[in-house]
Protein backbone atom coordinates (compact mmCIF):
# COMPACT_ATOMS: atom_id res chain seq x y z
CA UNK A 1 0.00 0.00 0.00
CA UNK A 2 1.28 3.48 -0.86
CA UNK A 3 1.63 5.64 2.24
CA UNK A 4 1.34 9.45 1.97
CA UNK A 5 2.12 11.80 4.84
CA UNK A 6 -0.26 14.64 5.69
CA UNK A 7 1.10 17.90 7.12
CA UNK A 8 0.21 17.95 10.81
CA UNK A 9 -1.73 21.23 10.56
CA UNK A 10 -3.89 19.78 7.77
CA UNK A 11 -5.04 16.58 9.51
CA UNK A 12 -8.24 18.08 11.05
CA UNK A 13 -10.64 17.69 8.10
CA UNK A 14 -9.31 14.17 7.44
CA UNK A 15 -9.99 13.17 11.05
CA UNK A 16 -13.48 14.64 10.52
CA UNK A 17 -13.73 12.34 7.48
CA UNK A 18 -14.15 15.11 4.94
CA UNK A 19 -13.58 13.15 1.70
CA UNK A 20 -11.34 15.62 -0.19
CA UNK A 21 -7.61 15.97 0.46
CA UNK A 22 -5.93 18.74 -1.53
CA UNK A 23 -2.39 18.33 -2.83
CA UNK A 24 -1.20 21.15 -0.54
CA UNK A 25 -2.08 19.05 2.51
CA UNK A 26 0.39 16.32 1.53
CA UNK A 27 4.04 16.45 2.53
CA UNK A 28 5.11 15.00 -0.80
CA UNK A 29 3.71 13.00 -3.68
CA UNK A 30 6.05 10.36 -5.12
CA UNK A 31 6.77 10.67 -8.86
CA UNK A 32 4.88 8.36 -11.17
CA UNK A 33 1.93 7.69 -8.88
CA UNK A 34 -1.00 6.90 -11.20
CA UNK A 35 -4.65 7.89 -10.84
CA UNK A 36 -6.64 5.32 -8.93
CA UNK A 37 -3.73 4.03 -6.83
CA UNK A 38 -5.00 3.17 -3.34
CA UNK A 39 -3.20 5.16 -0.67
CA UNK A 40 -3.13 5.30 3.12
CA UNK A 41 -2.69 8.68 4.74
CA UNK A 42 -0.68 9.05 7.92
CA UNK A 43 0.20 12.06 10.07
CA UNK A 44 3.78 13.25 10.52
CA UNK A 45 4.21 10.85 13.44
CA UNK A 46 3.15 7.96 11.22
CA UNK A 47 -0.32 7.46 12.74
CA UNK A 48 -2.98 6.15 10.35
CA UNK A 49 -5.60 8.74 9.34
CA UNK A 50 -7.64 7.42 6.41
CA UNK A 51 -7.56 5.57 3.07
CA UNK A 52 -8.45 6.75 -0.41
CA UNK A 53 -7.34 6.84 -4.00
CA UNK A 54 -4.91 9.15 -5.69
CA UNK A 55 -5.96 11.30 -8.63
CA UNK A 56 -3.07 12.81 -10.52
CA UNK A 57 -4.84 15.47 -12.62
CA UNK A 58 -6.91 16.98 -9.86
CA UNK A 59 -6.19 19.55 -7.17
CA UNK A 60 -8.03 17.08 -4.99
CA UNK A 61 -5.06 14.73 -4.83
CA UNK A 62 -6.75 12.07 -2.71
CA UNK A 63 -10.42 11.18 -2.25
CA UNK A 64 -11.23 9.21 0.86
CA UNK A 65 -13.16 5.97 0.86
CA UNK A 66 -12.07 4.14 4.00
CA UNK A 67 -11.17 4.61 7.63
CA UNK A 68 -9.65 1.26 8.57
CA UNK A 69 -5.94 0.54 8.02
CA UNK A 70 -5.02 -2.42 5.86
CA UNK A 71 -8.27 -2.65 3.90
CA UNK A 72 -7.44 -4.13 0.49
CA UNK A 73 -8.96 -2.57 -2.62
CA UNK A 74 -10.37 -5.24 -4.94
CA UNK A 75 -13.76 -6.44 -6.18
CA UNK A 76 -14.76 -7.40 -2.61
CA UNK A 77 -14.03 -3.88 -1.41
CA UNK A 78 -16.50 -2.50 -3.96
CA UNK A 79 -19.04 -5.22 -3.13
CA UNK A 80 -18.91 -4.19 0.51
CA UNK A 81 -19.46 -0.48 -0.28
CA UNK A 82 -22.23 -1.21 -2.82
CA UNK A 83 -24.02 -3.62 -0.43
CA UNK A 84 -24.03 -0.94 2.25
CA UNK A 85 -25.50 1.64 -0.15
CA UNK A 86 -28.00 -0.85 -1.59
CA UNK A 87 -29.25 -1.74 1.90
CA UNK A 88 -30.10 1.89 2.77
CA UNK A 89 -32.23 2.26 -0.37
CA UNK A 90 -33.86 -1.17 -0.20
CA UNK A 91 -34.65 -0.86 3.53
CA UNK A 92 -36.01 2.68 3.59
CA UNK A 93 -37.11 3.66 0.11
CA UNK A 94 -37.82 0.90 -2.41
CA UNK A 95 -41.32 -0.53 -2.52
CA UNK A 96 -43.83 -1.95 -4.97
CA UNK A 97 -44.57 1.66 -5.93
CA UNK A 98 -40.96 2.88 -6.26
CA UNK A 99 -38.33 0.82 -8.06
CA UNK A 100 -35.82 3.53 -8.99
CA UNK A 101 -33.33 5.52 -6.97
CA UNK A 102 -29.76 6.79 -6.75
CA UNK A 103 -27.93 3.66 -5.66
CA UNK A 104 -24.45 5.15 -5.20
CA UNK A 105 -24.00 8.83 -4.42
CA UNK A 106 -20.23 9.29 -4.72
CA UNK A 107 -18.35 10.64 -1.71
CA UNK A 108 -21.47 10.25 0.45
CA UNK A 109 -21.51 6.48 -0.05
CA UNK A 110 -17.73 6.18 0.41
CA UNK A 111 -17.15 5.72 -3.33
CA UNK A 112 -15.92 9.19 -4.37
CA UNK A 113 -16.54 10.16 -7.98
CA UNK A 114 -18.96 7.30 -8.64
CA UNK A 115 -22.66 7.80 -9.38
CA UNK A 116 -24.97 4.85 -9.99
CA UNK A 117 -28.66 5.37 -10.63
CA UNK A 118 -31.00 2.39 -10.60
CA UNK A 119 -33.86 2.61 -13.08
CA UNK A 120 -36.08 -0.43 -12.49
CA UNK A 121 -33.82 -3.34 -13.50
CA UNK A 122 -31.16 -1.24 -15.22
CA UNK A 123 -28.24 0.83 -13.99
CA UNK A 124 -26.93 4.12 -15.35
CA UNK A 125 -23.40 4.85 -14.16
CA UNK A 126 -20.99 7.81 -14.16
CA UNK A 127 -17.29 7.90 -13.35
CA UNK A 128 -16.35 11.49 -12.55
CA UNK A 129 -12.57 11.16 -12.72
CA UNK A 130 -9.79 8.86 -13.99
CA UNK A 131 -9.02 7.59 -10.47
CA UNK A 132 -12.38 5.95 -9.87
CA UNK A 133 -12.60 5.01 -13.54
CA UNK A 134 -9.48 2.86 -13.22
CA UNK A 135 -11.63 0.53 -11.05
CA UNK A 136 -14.39 0.21 -13.66
CA UNK A 137 -14.01 -3.55 -14.18
CA UNK A 138 -14.20 -4.34 -10.45
CA UNK A 139 -17.10 -1.91 -9.91
CA UNK A 140 -19.16 -3.37 -12.77
CA UNK A 141 -18.49 -6.91 -11.50
CA UNK A 142 -19.47 -5.89 -7.95
CA UNK A 143 -22.70 -4.25 -9.19
CA UNK A 144 -23.58 -7.37 -11.16
CA UNK A 145 -23.08 -9.56 -8.09
CA UNK A 146 -24.87 -7.35 -5.56
CA UNK A 147 -27.69 -5.80 -7.61
CA UNK A 148 -28.00 -8.25 -10.53
CA UNK A 149 -29.28 -5.71 -13.07
CA UNK A 150 -30.34 -6.63 -16.61
CA UNK A 151 -27.94 -4.06 -17.99
CA UNK A 152 -25.43 -1.36 -17.03
CA UNK A 153 -24.96 1.71 -19.24
CA UNK A 154 -22.19 4.26 -18.84
CA UNK A 155 -23.06 7.99 -18.99
CA UNK A 156 -19.67 9.49 -18.16
CA UNK A 157 -20.38 12.52 -20.32
CA UNK A 158 -20.30 15.02 -17.48
CA UNK A 159 -18.38 18.29 -17.69
CA UNK A 160 -16.46 17.68 -14.46
CA UNK A 161 -14.50 14.89 -16.19
CA UNK A 162 -12.80 17.51 -18.38
CA UNK A 163 -11.54 19.34 -15.29
CA UNK A 164 -10.29 16.05 -13.89
CA UNK A 165 -8.38 15.17 -17.06
CA UNK A 166 -10.72 12.59 -18.60
CA UNK A 167 -12.52 12.30 -21.93
CA UNK A 168 -16.26 11.60 -22.22
CA UNK A 169 -17.24 7.93 -22.21
CA UNK A 170 -20.66 6.49 -23.01
CA UNK A 171 -21.81 3.00 -23.87
CA UNK A 172 -23.01 -0.35 -22.68
CA UNK A 173 -20.88 -1.94 -19.95
CA UNK A 174 -22.87 -5.12 -19.38
CA UNK A 175 -26.11 -6.91 -20.37
CA UNK A 176 -28.65 -5.00 -22.46
CA UNK A 177 -30.40 -1.64 -22.02
CA UNK A 178 -33.56 -0.77 -23.98
CA UNK A 179 -34.11 2.61 -25.62
CA UNK A 180 -36.64 3.47 -22.95
CA UNK A 181 -36.84 2.02 -19.48
CA UNK A 182 -40.19 1.96 -17.70
CA UNK A 183 -39.79 2.91 -14.04
CA UNK A 184 -42.18 3.27 -11.11
CA UNK A 185 -42.08 6.19 -8.72
CA UNK A 186 -44.67 6.49 -5.96
CA UNK A 187 -47.02 4.42 -8.10
CA UNK A 188 -46.59 6.53 -11.24
CA UNK A 189 -45.10 5.05 -14.38
CA UNK A 190 -42.41 7.01 -16.17
CA UNK A 191 -40.26 6.41 -19.22
CA UNK A 192 -36.56 7.07 -18.75
CA UNK A 193 -34.13 7.43 -21.63
CA UNK A 194 -30.85 6.25 -20.10
CA UNK A 195 -28.99 6.39 -23.41
CA UNK A 196 -30.07 9.77 -24.79
CA UNK A 197 -31.59 11.63 -21.82
CA UNK A 198 -29.99 14.37 -19.75
CA UNK A 199 -27.50 13.39 -17.00
CA UNK A 200 -28.10 9.71 -16.15
CA UNK A 201 -31.59 9.83 -17.71
CA UNK A 202 -33.88 11.23 -15.03
CA UNK A 203 -33.90 13.55 -12.00
CA UNK A 204 -34.45 11.09 -9.18
CA UNK A 205 -33.48 13.77 -6.65
CA UNK A 206 -36.87 15.49 -6.95
CA UNK A 207 -38.94 12.40 -6.01
CA UNK A 208 -39.92 13.61 -2.54
CA UNK A 209 -40.63 17.15 -3.80
CA UNK A 210 -42.87 15.79 -6.56
CA UNK A 211 -44.79 13.85 -3.89
CA UNK A 212 -44.96 16.91 -1.61
CA UNK A 213 -46.47 18.98 -4.43
CA UNK A 214 -49.59 16.85 -4.54
CA UNK A 215 -51.16 18.31 -1.41
CA UNK A 216 -51.41 21.74 -3.08
CA UNK A 217 -52.75 20.92 -6.54
CA UNK A 218 -56.40 19.86 -6.32
CA UNK A 219 -58.43 21.94 -8.79
CA UNK A 220 -55.49 24.26 -9.46
CA UNK A 221 -53.72 25.41 -12.60
CA UNK A 222 -50.03 24.51 -12.49
CA UNK A 223 -47.10 25.86 -14.49
CA UNK A 224 -44.15 23.45 -14.49
CA UNK A 225 -41.10 25.38 -15.65
CA UNK A 226 -37.99 23.43 -16.70
CA UNK A 227 -40.26 20.38 -16.79
CA UNK A 228 -37.83 17.96 -18.46
CA UNK A 229 -39.82 14.72 -19.03
CA UNK A 230 -42.74 15.93 -16.93
CA UNK A 231 -42.05 14.44 -13.50
CA UNK A 232 -43.78 17.23 -11.57
CA UNK A 233 -46.49 17.45 -14.25
CA UNK A 234 -47.50 13.79 -13.86
CA UNK A 235 -47.78 14.18 -10.08
CA UNK A 236 -49.71 17.45 -10.43
CA UNK A 237 -52.33 16.02 -12.76
CA UNK A 238 -52.38 12.75 -10.84
CA UNK A 239 -53.04 14.76 -7.68
CA UNK A 240 -56.11 16.45 -9.20
CA UNK A 241 -54.85 19.63 -10.85
CA UNK A 242 -57.26 21.21 -13.35
CA UNK A 243 -54.55 22.14 -15.82
CA UNK A 244 -50.80 21.57 -16.11
CA UNK A 245 -48.54 23.42 -18.51
CA UNK A 246 -45.00 22.06 -18.96
CA UNK A 247 -42.33 24.38 -20.35
CA UNK A 248 -38.86 23.25 -21.42
CA UNK A 249 -36.28 24.12 -24.06
CA UNK A 250 -35.71 20.47 -25.00
CA UNK A 251 -38.10 19.03 -27.55
CA UNK A 252 -37.04 15.46 -26.78
CA UNK A 253 -37.83 16.01 -23.10
CA UNK A 254 -41.28 17.42 -23.88
CA UNK A 255 -42.12 14.51 -26.21
CA UNK A 256 -41.32 12.10 -23.41
CA UNK A 257 -43.33 14.25 -20.98
CA UNK A 258 -46.35 13.82 -23.25
CA UNK A 259 -45.79 10.06 -23.36
CA UNK A 260 -45.53 9.99 -19.58
CA UNK A 261 -48.94 11.64 -19.27
CA UNK A 262 -50.47 9.01 -21.56
CA UNK A 263 -48.73 6.22 -19.68
CA UNK A 264 -50.55 7.28 -16.50
CA UNK A 265 -53.88 7.72 -18.34
CA UNK A 266 -53.99 11.41 -17.47
CA UNK A 267 -56.33 13.59 -19.50
CA UNK A 268 -54.64 15.05 -22.59
CA UNK A 269 -57.15 17.93 -22.46
CA UNK A 270 -55.72 19.12 -19.17
CA UNK A 271 -52.11 19.33 -20.26
CA UNK A 272 -50.09 21.48 -22.56
CA UNK A 273 -46.41 21.27 -23.56
CA UNK A 274 -44.56 24.38 -24.58
CA UNK A 275 -41.14 24.48 -26.19
CA UNK A 276 -39.73 27.77 -24.96
CA UNK A 277 -37.10 29.55 -22.95
CA UNK A 278 -38.63 29.84 -19.47
CA UNK A 279 -37.33 33.39 -19.01
CA UNK A 280 -39.15 34.52 -22.14
CA UNK A 281 -42.29 32.53 -21.34
CA UNK A 282 -42.58 33.95 -17.81
CA UNK A 283 -42.16 37.50 -19.07
CA UNK A 284 -45.19 37.00 -21.34
CA UNK A 285 -47.62 35.78 -18.66
CA UNK A 286 -50.24 38.02 -17.11
CA UNK A 287 -50.68 38.13 -13.31
CA UNK A 288 -53.06 35.47 -12.04
CA UNK A 289 -52.63 33.05 -14.95
CA UNK A 290 -51.44 30.16 -12.73
CA UNK A 291 -52.13 29.14 -9.11
CA UNK A 292 -48.92 27.19 -8.71
CA UNK A 293 -45.54 27.72 -10.38
CA UNK A 294 -42.66 25.24 -10.21
CA UNK A 295 -39.15 26.46 -11.03
CA UNK A 296 -36.58 23.68 -11.29
CA UNK A 297 -33.84 25.10 -13.51
CA UNK A 298 -30.47 23.55 -14.31
CA UNK A 299 -27.63 24.76 -12.05
CA UNK A 300 -27.23 28.51 -12.68
CA UNK A 301 -23.96 28.55 -10.71
CA UNK A 302 -21.57 26.05 -12.23
CA UNK A 303 -18.38 27.68 -11.04
CA UNK A 304 -17.65 29.03 -7.55
CA UNK A 305 -16.25 32.21 -9.08
CA UNK A 306 -19.58 33.01 -10.72
CA UNK A 307 -21.97 32.86 -7.77
CA UNK A 308 -23.24 36.46 -8.10
CA UNK A 309 -24.16 36.03 -11.75
CA UNK A 310 -26.02 32.78 -11.02
CA UNK A 311 -27.89 34.30 -8.08
CA UNK A 312 -29.08 37.11 -10.35
CA UNK A 313 -30.53 34.42 -12.63
CA UNK A 314 -32.42 32.82 -9.72
CA UNK A 315 -33.67 36.22 -8.57
CA UNK A 316 -34.93 37.07 -12.04
CA UNK A 317 -37.02 33.94 -12.62
CA UNK A 318 -38.35 33.88 -9.07
CA UNK A 319 -39.36 37.55 -9.21
CA UNK A 320 -41.15 36.86 -12.51
CA UNK A 321 -43.00 33.89 -11.02
CA UNK A 322 -43.96 35.84 -7.88
CA UNK A 323 -45.37 38.62 -10.06
CA UNK A 324 -47.61 36.14 -11.88
CA UNK A 325 -48.93 34.22 -8.85
CA UNK A 326 -52.25 35.33 -7.33
CA UNK A 327 -52.90 35.77 -3.60
CA UNK A 328 -52.45 32.36 -1.92
CA UNK A 329 -50.50 31.11 -4.93
CA UNK A 330 -47.79 28.52 -4.35
CA UNK A 331 -44.20 28.82 -5.55
CA UNK A 332 -42.04 25.70 -5.65
CA UNK A 333 -38.53 26.91 -6.26
CA UNK A 334 -35.41 24.78 -6.53
CA UNK A 335 -31.70 25.33 -6.98
CA UNK A 336 -29.35 22.48 -7.81
CA UNK A 337 -26.20 24.62 -7.67
CA UNK A 338 -23.73 23.07 -5.23
CA UNK A 339 -22.07 26.47 -4.84
CA UNK A 340 -25.27 28.12 -3.54
CA UNK A 341 -26.13 27.39 0.10
CA UNK A 342 -29.67 27.09 1.39
CA UNK A 343 -29.16 30.38 3.24
CA UNK A 344 -28.02 32.16 0.07
CA UNK A 345 -30.89 30.71 -1.91
CA UNK A 346 -33.43 31.81 0.69
CA UNK A 347 -31.90 35.30 0.72
CA UNK A 348 -32.12 35.45 -3.08
CA UNK A 349 -35.82 34.53 -2.92
CA UNK A 350 -36.34 37.30 -0.35
CA UNK A 351 -34.76 39.73 -2.84
CA UNK A 352 -37.10 38.40 -5.54
CA UNK A 353 -40.06 38.97 -3.17
CA UNK A 354 -38.89 42.54 -2.59
CA UNK A 355 -38.67 43.15 -6.32
CA UNK A 356 -42.13 41.66 -6.94
CA UNK A 357 -43.54 43.51 -3.90
CA UNK A 358 -45.02 40.32 -2.45
CA UNK A 359 -45.10 38.66 0.96
CA UNK A 360 -43.73 35.14 0.90
CA UNK A 361 -44.01 32.52 3.62
CA UNK A 362 -41.95 29.35 3.37
CA UNK A 363 -44.08 26.29 4.07
CA UNK A 364 -41.60 23.48 3.42
CA UNK A 365 -37.85 23.20 2.94
CA UNK A 366 -36.25 20.23 1.22
CA UNK A 367 -32.82 19.06 0.18
CA UNK A 368 -32.32 15.55 -1.23
CA UNK A 369 -34.15 12.33 -0.42
CA UNK A 370 -33.00 9.15 1.32
CA UNK A 371 -31.20 7.93 -1.81
CA UNK A 372 -28.86 10.94 -1.56
CA UNK A 373 -27.42 10.48 1.93
CA UNK A 374 -25.08 13.25 3.03
CA UNK A 375 -21.75 12.47 4.69
CA UNK A 376 -21.94 14.74 7.73
CA UNK A 377 -18.81 16.85 7.12
CA UNK A 378 -19.20 17.03 3.33
CA UNK A 379 -21.18 20.27 3.01
CA UNK A 380 -20.07 20.63 -0.63
CA UNK A 381 -22.18 17.61 -1.48
CA UNK A 382 -25.48 19.26 -0.59
CA UNK A 383 -26.40 20.66 -3.99
CA UNK A 384 -30.21 20.60 -4.04
CA UNK A 385 -32.43 23.07 -2.21
CA UNK A 386 -36.16 23.37 -2.73
CA UNK A 387 -38.55 25.76 -1.00
CA UNK A 388 -42.35 25.54 -1.11
CA UNK A 389 -43.82 28.98 -0.37
CA UNK A 390 -47.20 30.67 -0.22
CA UNK A 391 -47.51 34.14 -1.67
CA UNK A 392 -49.72 37.04 -0.59
N1 LIG B 1 -38.03 19.24 -13.00
C2 LIG B 1 -37.44 18.20 -13.81
C3 LIG B 1 -35.94 18.36 -13.96
C4 LIG B 1 -35.49 19.66 -14.57
S5 LIG B 1 -33.88 19.61 -15.24
C6 LIG B 1 -37.81 16.84 -13.23
O7 LIG B 1 -38.44 16.78 -12.14
O8 LIG B 1 -37.52 15.82 -13.85
C9 LIG B 1 -33.75 21.13 -16.03
C10 LIG B 1 -34.48 21.24 -17.35
O11 LIG B 1 -34.38 22.60 -17.77
C12 LIG B 1 -33.97 20.42 -18.51
O13 LIG B 1 -35.02 19.65 -19.03
C14 LIG B 1 -33.52 21.45 -19.58
O15 LIG B 1 -33.83 21.02 -20.90
C16 LIG B 1 -34.33 22.65 -19.20
N17 LIG B 1 -33.83 23.98 -19.55
C18 LIG B 1 -32.58 24.47 -19.40
N19 LIG B 1 -32.55 25.78 -19.70
C20 LIG B 1 -33.81 26.14 -20.05
C21 LIG B 1 -34.43 27.37 -20.43
N22 LIG B 1 -33.74 28.51 -20.50
N23 LIG B 1 -35.75 27.37 -20.68
C24 LIG B 1 -36.47 26.23 -20.61
N25 LIG B 1 -35.94 25.05 -20.24
C26 LIG B 1 -34.63 25.01 -19.96
To test ligand 1's pocket by mutation, which of 102, 249, 333 has the most ligand atoms within 8 angstroms of CB? 249
The closest-lying atom of ligand 1 relative to the alpha carbon of residue 296 is: 1
To test ligand 1's pocket by mutation, which of 192, 199, 228 has the most ligand atoms within 8 angstroms of CB? 228
Q: Is residue 373 part of a domain?
A: yes
337 and 302, same structural domain? Answer: yes
Mean pLDDT throughout 269-273? 97
Q: Among residues 66, 90, 111, which one ends one of the domains? A: 66
Mean pLDDT throughout 2-15? 97
CA of 57 to the centre of ligand 1 (A): 31
Mean pLDDT throughout 129-141? 97
Ligand 1 atom 21: the closest Cα is on which residue? 277
Reported as a pLDDT band with limits 50, 70 and 90, residue 4 is: very high
The greatest distance separating any two alpha carbons of the chain, rounded to the nearest whole angstrom, comes to: 71
45 and 81, same structural domain? Answer: no
Q: What are φ and ψ of residue 136, in 5° steps?
A: -55, -50
Q: Domains in the chain: how many in total?
A: 3
238 and 162, same structural domain? Answer: no
Mean pLDDT throughout 96-119? 98
Q: Is residue 195 part of a domain?
A: no
Q: Which domain CATH number covers 31?
A: 2.30.130.10
Reference 114, options 132, 141, 138, 99; nearest CA is 132
Q: Is residue 197 part of a domain?
A: no
What's the residue count for the chain?
A: 392
Return the half-sphere exposure (C-beta side, CA atoms, 13 A cut-off) of residue 39: 26
Q: Is residue 194 part of a domain?
A: no
Mean pLDDT throughout 317-343? 97
Mean pLDDT throughout 39-45? 98
CA of 134 to the centre of ligand 1 (A): 32
Residue 328, pLDDT above cutoff 90: yes
350 and 297, same structural domain? Answer: yes
Ligand 1 atom 12: the closest Cα is on which residue? 228
Reported as a pLDDT band with limits 50, 70 and 90, residue 335 is: very high
Ligand 1 atom 16: the closest Cα is on which residue? 226
Residue 58, pLDDT above cutoff 90: no
CA of 384 to the centre of ligand 1 (A): 15
Q: Which domain CATH number covers 243?
A: 3.40.50.150
pTM: 0.97
349 and 366, same structural domain? Answer: yes
39 and 12, same structural domain? Answer: yes
Q: Which domain CATH number covers 151?
A: 3.30.750.80
277 and 152, same structural domain? Answer: no
Q: Is residue 45 part of a domain?
A: yes
Mean pLDDT throughout 250-267? 97
Mean pLDDT throughout 21-43? 96
132 and 36, same structural domain? Answer: no
Pocket of ligand 1 (CB under 6 A): 198, 203, 206, 226-229, 231-232, 247-250, 253, 277-279, 296-298
19 Rama sector, left if φ>0, alpha if ψ -120 to 50, beta otherwise: alpha
What pLDDT is stored for residue 2 in this prediction? 96
348 and 253, same structural domain? Answer: yes
379 and 254, same structural domain? Answer: yes
Q: Among residues 35, 66, 97, which one ends one of the domains? A: 66
Q: Is residue 196 part of a domain?
A: no
Domain span including residue 62: 2-66
Q: Is position 225 annotated as part of the catalytic site? A: no
289 and 141, same structural domain? Answer: no
CA of 256 to the centre of ligand 1 (A): 13
Return the half-sphere exposure (C-beta side, CA atoms, 13 A cut-off) of residue 22: 6
329 and 273, same structural domain? Answer: yes
Q: Among residues 12, 42, 66, which one ends one of the domains? A: 66
What pLDDT is stored for residue 56 in this prediction? 87
Given the DSSP bridges, would you call strands 122-127 and 114-119 parallel, antiparallel or unpaired?
antiparallel
Q: Is residue 192 part of a domain?
A: no
> pLDDT digit string (tens) for 151-177?
999 999 998 888 887 899 999 999 999
Residue 304, pLDDT above cutoff 90: no
How far apart, in Å, are the Cα atoms of 127 and each of 140, 279, 321? 11, 33, 37
> pLDDT digit string (tens) for 345-374?
999 999 999 999 999 999 999 999 999 999
CA of 249 to the centre of ligand 1 (A): 7
Q: What is the chain's mean pLDDT, rounded? A: 97
Amino acid sequence: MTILTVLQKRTGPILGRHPWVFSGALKNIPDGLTSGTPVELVDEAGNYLASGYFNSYSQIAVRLWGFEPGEEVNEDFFKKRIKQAFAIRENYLASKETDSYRLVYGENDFLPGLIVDKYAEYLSIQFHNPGIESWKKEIVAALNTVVKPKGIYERSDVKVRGLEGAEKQVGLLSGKVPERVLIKENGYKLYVDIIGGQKTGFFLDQRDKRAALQKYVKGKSVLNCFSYTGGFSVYALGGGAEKVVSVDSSEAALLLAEENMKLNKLSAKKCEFILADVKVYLADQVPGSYDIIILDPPAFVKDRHKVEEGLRGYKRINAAALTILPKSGILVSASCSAHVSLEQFRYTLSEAALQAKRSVQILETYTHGIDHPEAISFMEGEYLKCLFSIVS
